Chains A and B, each alone.
Chain A
Amino acid sequence: MKPLARIAALFAAAALGLMPLSSHVEPQTSARDAGTEFMVSTGETGRPGGRLVVSLRAEPKTLNPVTFADTSSKLVIWRMMADLIHINRYTQQPEPALAKSWTVSPDGRKYTLKLRHGLRFSDGLPLTADDVVFSFQVYLDESVHAPQRDLLIVAGKPITIRRLDTETVQFELAAPYGPGLRLFDGFAILPRHLLEGPYRAGKFEQVWSPTSPATEIAGAGPFRLKEYVPGQRLVLDRNPFYWKQDQKGTRLPYLNELVFLFIPNEDAQVLRFQSGDIDMISRVSALNFSMLQGKPATAGYNLADAGPSLEWSFLFFNLNDLSKKNLPQIAGKQKWFSNNVFRRAVSLAVDREGIVRLIYQGRATPIWSPVTPGNKQWFDQRLPHPARSLDQARQLLRNAGFSWNSEATLVDAEKQPIEFSIVVSSSNAERSKISTIIQDDLRQLGMRVTVVPLESRALLSRVLDSSDYEACVLGLASGDADPNADSNVWLSDGSTHLWNLHRDSPPSSWEAEIDALMREQLTARTFAERKKAFDRVQELLAENQPVIFLVSPHVLIGVKKELGNFKPAVMDPVDLWNVEEFFWKAR
């Protein structure tokens, strides 16, 4: 679009009341942009204008990119923010963002990043190395309580950051870092001119709530805050200073507005999608997805099944050291749970295909490892996928000293019947149903299983604090395709090593091997070495089944057909990761 035409369009939009001209500075001429080193989008060239309406199940709690803790806030914040190097959600690979290029020192400990020239925050003020240094100072400050801070501790030491010139910064790590450039993803660059004051005053955690005036919030993402109506909606409008453009030189984003409606209930979301109130619906349950698919009313929609997500659901038994807790009944059952033959038999009896068919109507994939087939780089195809076999399961149990009494109940060597309960979060319908299937599968082995649905905090306090549970079905969604993000799940002293928490040393040799492999992948320099280490971790998990992997639900998204450049990914945010490229085709 010609500059003049663009200004005319802006005025037209303003006259229609779509954009407030008052609070934000608009770029005046393209001459000023001439120096900007744009990133050029590889997507289809589209047309500017229009708004996209999406829905959120919960309201964003804050717009503070450092302290947020919930997914709704994250989704909104990251439409307004940008990081130095970004993981492309589709390719799952790091790519330049605010940093246009970088060099890594031969010892793998120094990263020198070069910023794009001419970067501006959404309030029009320039973004320089000082902002970058300030941002990381905030993330690393313990008094701010940034959840991301832990990612900046490498080999036990916080990384250090140095400004080399206004457009160059250097990061120094205490040790080489396997995931490499992925380190920089997820650290939004903050405007020092707006936030240094509150930070110095110790009020950083209170800044940038959704109710803050739009002029006080600025980021380098494609959109900026326009309006927040409590309980109803949050509206973002286009950041006129964004640093991406399309192949014809039009500055992105194409959309003028991005509207988040707060609709707390999935069914209401589905109905409002059907009636056309919202343009896109993601995280649809498989049953609702099938329903939408069968409807002629949704002929104008594109219902995308992007395949297995990075989420994996699993069954685990309580293997915690209960000697200091007064839980004799559970401790008595641990002789079964800690027997890996028992766990393997359970795994063999679970009808993963049945779960996929009955609960997900075919829209999930059975898994035998935490790396789902949706993870392009790390999925290990050589891992065995033993088919369900009750006979083999019985054989294993028999060899391990279990037997069946006259009522066909499975009993152990001391003739004690095998009975246990599975706790599951009641707020997750699909996982509750998975437990019902498992219960029925294990009944066929003669085990008496009860399913105990618990409200999610009650469940977490049992699993994380009191260890008062026998077995549990849970799901975790990997934050990144790189397995290092889930280290704390596999390290035997990790904070999310759910089935066996607070161990000072690995209880067995294979667990010690996993610990060593996880440390190896963290510092290994090449991808091949890291992959080899993590493949071995997966083999050990498959052999010993500390957790029994079940299924990975697919990413299901419905969207209006006219939305251009829509490209669902399996990494979060699956739907809006490239929202700056979205545009409305003629309709």
Chain B
Amino acid sequence: MSGISLRGVSKRYGSVDVVHGVDIEIDKGEFCVFVGPSGCGKTTLLRMIAGLEEISGGDIFIDGRRVNGIDPARRGAAMVFQNYALYPHMTVEQNMGFGLRMNGHPRAEVATRVKDAARLLQIQDLLTRKPRQLSGGQRQRVAIGRAIVRNPQVFLFDEPLSNLDAELRAQTRVELAKLHHQLAGSTMVYVTHDQVEAMTLADKIVVLRAGVVEQIGAPMELYESPANIFVAGFIGSPKMNFVNVSAERDALRLDDGSQLARPQTKTAPQRLGVRADQLTIIDPEKGAIRGEVSVVERLGDSELVHVRTAWEQEIVVRVPGGTNSRVGSTVGLALAGRVHFFDAEGQAITVTSQARTND
């Protein structure tokens, strides 16, 4: 049974297409994250689901019901805004209960529902305060509380953590994940440009670029087998390394002339992608790629070693913490794990049999 489904949804502002015929199925109870760079149409999509933005083409169904043209309040969805959008002149309690009271719910019922939501979010002590007396994190909770009070089938989050500092963001992220379990059964759609949030929170990630869905899948699915260069580069930190290769009969030639074994593929690979932790630093004489260490980022548990290749490209390698790589030293790199290949259009190429790459 489907929670939300988008079929051929598009959005046009005048003559500018911002969303081009998007199809997305979100299951009931699923936590779905729309992720992509700014301007990719993710927020527009969310606002179309909410009903704040008109749908130019296609259909949106919530719980099997076509909601095009239905008033936002009657779609069974609640939204948490980027800037919280709390009413500055009302107390926390009034903010949370405002929608219910305005729609004629009895005072006592509103009070219990507000109390329940406040307990869930541990903001019982803040109920009589005004928004300007709250910290950013507290405002965030109140905004979520306002959504919970309405008991919606669908929660919509529009970059809810982007105004918080790094520490609070990490903390709130964990709490949102907990909340999703506590509110089992409610579907959540969450928009962010931060792939870490997407990876940590999502059951399903939708990667968008320029109004087009690049890939839909579970976090590890996107991480392990990105459909194209864009997804490969967007998901995962540090960013995947890409190296240009030219395909020869049974080898792949790098820009400095060194060779790698060619895997068996249908089309000829043009680029090779490898994540930082799938590379190892070895003796310069033995490595497939040679380069000079330019920067070392020490993260504690690991080190990110930036290696400058003969063709002036920076490749990042993750090595265990305490390795103490020396800047300026010449090293060799070996492909030590999964390698991704992409064709001229940037689409991933399926490898029919992975060639041995390390030696």
Does B bind A?
Answer: no
